[in-house]
A = this chain, B = another copy of it.
Amino acid sequence: MSTETRPVRTGRPRSIPASDTEHSPREQILDAAAALFVENGFTATPTRAIAERVGIRQASLYYHFANKEEMLDELLTASVRPGLEVVRSLEALVPASASAAGALHAALILDTTTLIKAAHNFAILWLLPEVQGERYNSFRTERQELLHVYGRLGGAAATEAVAATVSEEQLGAIIIHLTELISHLRRTGEPDPVYLEVIAATVLRACGLDAAAIEAAIAESQRLRM
């Protein structure tokens, strides 16, 4: 995995960050910012605290980022882009080499696995009150795109009865929101990994699939993820 595509490291933070030679200073800064923003919020986190956690001077921090907003922007993008890439690549398999229900289930398992395994619960950051201005529009565009891909997959998997009453936009909003249950659970401890399967099956039920159709989708999803 190149450092270009992974701005947030996935390992646990080290006790002596200065000895971290595996990750670039930029990655270390983002890691510290993610931890502090999740714990204390954006406004309540001074850049000095981020620099201290990394073990560098505050001035060095500004060599890598113009300001805190730039760090938050990058973290927001990192919280949504891997999921978007995974869901898009699975959508590309439909209908030739995967059914919509199988691809949707696989996408959900992979997306929520990322959410449960990330070093910090930074997928929750988009709920910060500070993330409301135009400054973060490019993140919002990517999140909206993830919603649309999920909506299309959900719409393609849905039964006629569900497709007739729930739009793809609504289905997308419900699906992306259900994946985010993982981030909400992480606020109060480590969620039981069984939630990944429960969320994926719940989404298929929300699309109107019956028990037999869900079982088939799960079997296909396992093959798609191998």
Q: Interface of A with B (CB < 8 Å)? A: 37-44, 124, 127-130, 132, 140, 161-162, 165-166, 170, 173-174, 177-178, 181, 184-185, 187-188, 194-195, 198-199, 201-202, 205-208, 210-211
Q: By the criterion CB–CB under 8 Å, are B44 and A165 in contact?
A: no
Known: A40-B129, A41-B128, A132-B187. 5 other contacts (CB 8 A): A39-B129, A41-B43, A165-B198, A170-B198, A174-B199
Beyond A177-B177, A178-B178, is A211–B161 a contact (Cβ under 8 Å)?
Answer: yes
Given the interface pairs A39-B129, A44-B130, A128-B129, the reply to whether A173 lies near B181 with Cβ below 8 Å is yes
Alpha-carbon gap, A184 to B174, bound state (A):
11
Given contacts A206-B206, A211-B161, are A38 and B170 in contact (CB under 8 A)? no
Interface of A is mostly: helix
Taking the full assembly, how many copies of this chain does it contain?
Answer: 2
- B-chain residues with CB within 8 Å of residue A206 when the two chains form the complex: 202, 205-206
Q: Indicate which residue in B174, B194, B195 contacts A202 across the interface (CB closer than 8 Å).
A: B174
Of the candidates B39, B43, B185, the one whose C-beta lies within 8 Å of that of A44 is: B43
A168 to chain B, nearest CB (A): 12
Output the least CB separation between A23 and chain B (Å): 24
Nearest neighbor of A170 in chain B, beta-carbon distance? B198
| Chain B residues near A210 (CB-CB < 8 A) | 210
Q: Find out whether the CB atom of B129 lies under 8 angstroms from the CB atom of A201.
A: no
Question: Are B181 and A129 in contact, with the CB atoms below 8 A?
Answer: no
